[in-house]
Structure 1
Amino acid sequence: MIFCLPGDKNRGRLKMDNGISNGIMGQVIPYTDVTVSRLIFAVIVLIAGFILVKILVYIFRRGMRKTKLPELTTQFLANFLSILLYVIVFLIFLKSLNFDVDSFVVGLSAIIGLVLGLGMQDTFTNITAGIWVAAIRPIDTGEVVTVNGQTGKIKSVSIMSTELLTPDNQLITVPNKLVWGSSIVNMTRMPTRRVSVDVGISYSSDLEKAIRIALDLMKGHPLVLPDPEPAVVTTELASSSVNLQLRAWTNTEDLWGVKNDLTAGIFEAYGREGIEIPFPQIDVHVKETKE
Structure 2
Amino acid sequence: MEIPDTFSNTTIPLVEITFDTILLAVIIAVLGFFVVKILGLIFRRSLSRTSCLPELVVEFLASFLSVLLYVLLLLLILAILGADVSSMVLGLSAVIGLILGFGLQSTISNLAAGVWIAALRPIDKNEFVEVNGISGTVVSVGIMATELLKPDNTFVTIPNSLVWGSPVINSTRMETRRVDVTVGVAYGSDLDRAIRVATSLMEGHDLVLPTPAPSVVVTELADSSINLSMRAWTKTPDLWGVKFDLTKKIVTAFREADIEIPFPQMDIHLDSPQ
- TM bin, normalised by shorter chain, reads over 0.9
Determine which of 27, 30, 39 is the counterpart of 1:56. Answer: 39
Q: How big is the shift at 1:119?
A: 2.7
Instruction: Tell me if 1:81 matches 2:85.
Output: no
- Residue aligning to 2:17: 34
Q: How big is the shift at 1:273?
A: 1.4
In 2, Cα distance between equivalents of 1:201 and 1:209? 11
Determine which of 140, 143, 146 is the counterpart of 2:127. Answer: 143
Instruction: Tell me if 1:115 matches 2:99.
Output: yes
Q: Which runs of 4+ in 1 moved over 3 A?
A: 19-22
Q: Following superposition of structure 1 onto structure 2, how do residues 13-28 of structure 1 map, counting pairs within 5 Å?
A: 23-28=6-11
Q: Following superposition of structure 1 onto structure 2, how do residues 117-196 of structure 1 map, counting pairs within 5 Å?
A: 117-196=101-180
Q: How big is the shift at 1:30?
A: 3.0
Q: How big is the shift at 1:288?
A: 1.4
Code of the residue aligned with 1:182 in structure 2: it is S
Code of the residue aligned with 2:83 in structure 1: it is F
Query: Cα RMSD over matched residues?
Result: 1.4
Query: 1:279 is paired with a residue of what secondary structure?
Result: coil
Question: Which 10-residue stretch deviates more, 77-86 or 100-109?
Answer: 100-109
Query: 1:69 is paired with a residue of what secondary structure?
Result: coil
Q: How big is the shift at 1:270?
A: 0.7
Q: How big is the shift at 1:21?
A: 10
Q: Cα–Cα, structure 1 residues 20 and 62, in superposed 2: closer, same or farther, change >3 Å?
A: farther
Query: Rg larger in 1 or in 2?
Result: 1
Structure 1: tracts of 5 or more residues without a match: 1-18
In 2, Cα distance between equivalents of 1:223 and 1:216? 14
Q: Cα–Cα, structure 1 residues 247 and 20, in superposed 2: closer, same or farther, change >3 Å?
A: farther
- Residue aligning to 2:266: 282
- Residue aligning to 2:205: 221
- Residue aligning to 1:9: none
Q: What's the CA shift string for 1:44-91, capped at 9, x where partnerless?
A: 111111111111110101111111200110000000000000000010
Q: Cα–Cα, structure 1 residues 91 and 287, in superposed 2: closer, same or farther, change >3 Å?
A: same
- Residue aligning to 2:237: 253
Query: 2:119 is paired with a residue of what secondary structure?
Result: helix
In 1, Cα distance between equivalents of 2:5 and 2:179? 80
Q: What's the CA shift string for 1:236-279, capped at 9, x where partnerless?
A: 11222111000000000000000000000101111121110011
Q: How big is the shift at 1:22?
A: 6.0
In 1, Cα distance between equivalents of 2:5 and 2:109? 52
Q: How big is the shift at 1:211?
A: 0.7
Code of the residue aligned with 1:59 in structure 2: it is I
Code of the residue aligned with 2:95 in structure 1: it is I
Determine which of 26, 29, 34 is the counterpart of 1:46. Answer: 29
Query: 1:204 is paired with a residue of what secondary structure?
Result: coil
Q: What's the CA shift string for 1:120-176, capped at 9, x where partnerless?
A: 211011000000000000000000001111110001111100011100011111110
Question: Which 10-residue stretch deviates more, 140-149 or 23-32?
Answer: 23-32
Code of the residue aligned with 1:58 in structure 2: it is L
Code of the residue aligned with 1:242 in structure 2: it is I
Code of the residue aligned with 1:28 in structure 2: it is T
Query: 2:245 is paired with a residue of what secondary structure?
Result: helix
Code of the residue aligned with 1:26 in structure 2: it is N
In 2, Cα distance between equivalents of 1:37 and 1:127? 39
- Residue aligning to 1:7: none
In 2, Cα distance between equivalents of 1:31 and 1:249? 76
Code of the residue aligned with 1:40 in structure 2: it is L
Q: How big is the shift at 1:103?
A: 1.1
Structure 2: tracts of 5 or more residues without a match: none
Query: 1:94 is paired with a residue of what secondary structure?
Result: helix
In 2, Cα distance between equivalents of 1:21 and 1:133? 62
